[in-house]
Amino acid sequence: MKKDKVRMFSGKRSVRCGPVVSLVWVWVVVCVLVLATSIAGAEPRDCPAGDWDGDCDTDLLDFAAMQVCFGKSAAGELWGDGIIDDSDASCVSTRHGCSVGVGDPYCDAADLNCDGVVDEQDDTVIDECYLQTAEDCPYCEPEAPPCPRCPDVNNDCHVMDLDTDGDIDLADYARMAATFSGPGDCPRCPDLIDDGLIDLSDFMFVESKVGCAVGTGDPECDAADLDCDGAVTDDDTDIVQDCFFMIPEDCPYC
Residue 103 CA to residue 105 CA, distance in Å, equals 6
| Residue 214 pLDDT exceeds 90 | no
Judged against a pLDDT cut of 60, whether residue 223 lies above it is answered with: yes
Give the pLDDT confidence of 44-98 residue by residue, as tens digits: 445 777 777 666 677 777 777 777 778 877 655 556 778 899 988 988 998 899 9
Average of pLDDT values for 169-188?
74
Mean pLDDT of 228-241: 90
Point out which residues pair with 231 in neighbouring strands: 213
For residue 233, count other CB atoms closer than 10 A to its CB.
Answer: 18
165 against 92, higher pLDDT: 92
What pLDDT, in 10s, does the model give residues 6-33? Answer: 343 344 444 444 554 455 554 544 444 4
Question: Is 186 in contact with 61 (CB distance < 8 Å)?
Answer: no
3-state class (DSSP) for residue 101? coil
The answer to whether the Cα torsion of 149, 151, 153, 155 is positive or negative is negative
Average pLDDT over the chain reads 77
What predicted TM-score, i.e. pTM, was given to this entire model? Answer: 0.45
Q: What is the pLDDT of residue 46?
A: 59
Give the E-state strand segments of 8-146 in sequence order.
none
